[in-house]
């Protein structure tokens, strides 16, 4: 393939592959906890991190990771304190993050234009150092997301039962949010912060119709995520469109394509499973 002869394209495809694997891995737990829009909120907070990096002329990715993780911890604290205050608190936090990011980017004189590569993704401008950071952070997310999957499953499925099992439920809840914050920020160069939540949620939704079981669903979602991310990156190279938008639309197309398959499988299971 001639597109692999370009160094920038090799980096783009590698990062697309890594984020495609990582985002649905943590997205599985986020969806199970019914926090499908959490990724969106964390993306908004990460924008403040990008703005801060532009303002202080530091590296956007590490700065945004730190800001998003701090935001994620705050979100979880609000959630644990109770829903009523949490709902409004979350909204303020999310829009505050977006506004602060745009404001800080504006102060630097770069304006919102400088933010756009983070808002919509820009795979082709990755440096080798970016790739290293993405690879390390992918490992940081995937090792606990896969290694602690029984524990995280138990907490996301039934928090009270997990507590009576003696699991460190609070810590595991924070872990999910922190890993989601890392995944969101790492994905900002691939799909962009505005669309990152789609890569966390849509492959999970697509896999749940066609595979049986939680762990199989987790692995299938990672496979679908990797496929659509790499497919979208390749497609964006040839079609010369924004990779983020194409990746998300391919993911949604896969989700829609699984419907008839899911319906057939469902009917077969119901008739063969019985009671």
Q: Which residues bind another protein (CB under 8 A)?
A: 32-34, 82-84, 147-148, 150-151, 153-154, 156-158, 160-167, 208, 211-215, 217, 269-270, 273, 275
Q: Tell me the DSSP string of 178-242.
A: HHHHHHHHHGGGTT-TTTHHHHHHHHHHHHHHHS-SHHHHHHHHHHHHHHHHHHHHHHHHHHT--
C-alpha triplet 216, 75, 116: angle, nearest 5°: 85
209 close to 265: Cβ distance less than 8 angstroms: yes
Least gap, CB of 266 to another protein (angstroms): 9
Nearer to another protein, 81 or 95 (CB): 81
DSSP 36: T
Least gap, CB of 192 to another protein (angstroms): 28
DSSP 166: T
Least gap, CB of 207 to another protein (angstroms): 9
Least gap, CB of 126 to another protein (angstroms): 31
Task: Report the distance separating Cα 71 and Cα 63, nearest Å.
Answer: 12
Least gap, CB of 148 to another protein (angstroms): 6
Nearer to another protein, 63 or 208 (CB): 208
**Alpha-carbon radius of gyration of the chain:** 19
Nearer to another protein, 8 or 153 (CB): 153
| Backbone dihedral angles phi then psi of residue 57, each to the nearest 5 degrees | 55, 40
Least gap, CB of 216 to another protein (angstroms): 8
Task: Report the distance separating Cα 91 and Cα 268, nearest Å.
Answer: 43
Nearer to another protein, 170 or 241 (CB): 170
Nearer to another protein, 113 or 273 (CB): 273
| Backbone dihedral angles phi then psi of residue 262, each to the nearest 5 degrees | -60, -40
Nearer to another protein, 214 or 255 (CB): 214
């Amino acid at each position: 393939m001639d597109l692999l002869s370009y160094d920038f394209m090799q980096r783009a495809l590698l990062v697309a592959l890594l984020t495609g694997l990582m985002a649905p891995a943590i997205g599985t737990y986020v969806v199970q906890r019914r926090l499908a829009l959490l990724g969106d909120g964390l993306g908004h907070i990460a924008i403040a991190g990008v703005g801060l990096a532009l303002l202080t002329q530091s590296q956007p990715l590490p700065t945004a990771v730190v800001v998003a993780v701090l935001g994620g911890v705050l979100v979880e604290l609000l959630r644990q304190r109770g829903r009523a205050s949490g709902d409004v608190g979350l909204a303020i936090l999310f829009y505050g993050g977006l506004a602060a990011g745009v404001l800080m980017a504006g102060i630097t004189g770069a304006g919102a234009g400088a933010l756009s590569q983070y808002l919509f993704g820009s795979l082709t401008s990755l440096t080798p150092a970016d790739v290293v950071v993405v690879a390390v952070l992918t490992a940081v997310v995937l090792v606990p997301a896969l290694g602690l999957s029984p524990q995280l499953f138990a907490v996301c499925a039934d928090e009270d039962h997990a507590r009576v099992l003696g699991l460190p439920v609070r810590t595991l809840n924070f872990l999910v949010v922190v890993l989601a914050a890392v995944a969101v920020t790492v994905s900002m160069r691939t799909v962009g912060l505005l669309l990152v939540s789609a890569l966390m949620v849509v492959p999970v939704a697509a896999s749940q119709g066609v595979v049986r079981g939680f762990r199989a669903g987790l692995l299938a979602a990672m496979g679908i995520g990797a496929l659509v991310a790499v497919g979208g990156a390749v497609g964006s190279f040839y079609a010369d469109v924004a990779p983020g938008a194409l990746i998300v639309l391919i993911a949604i197309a896969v989700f829609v394509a699984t419907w008839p398959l899911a319906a057939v499988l469902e009917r077969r299971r119901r008739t063969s499973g019985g009671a």
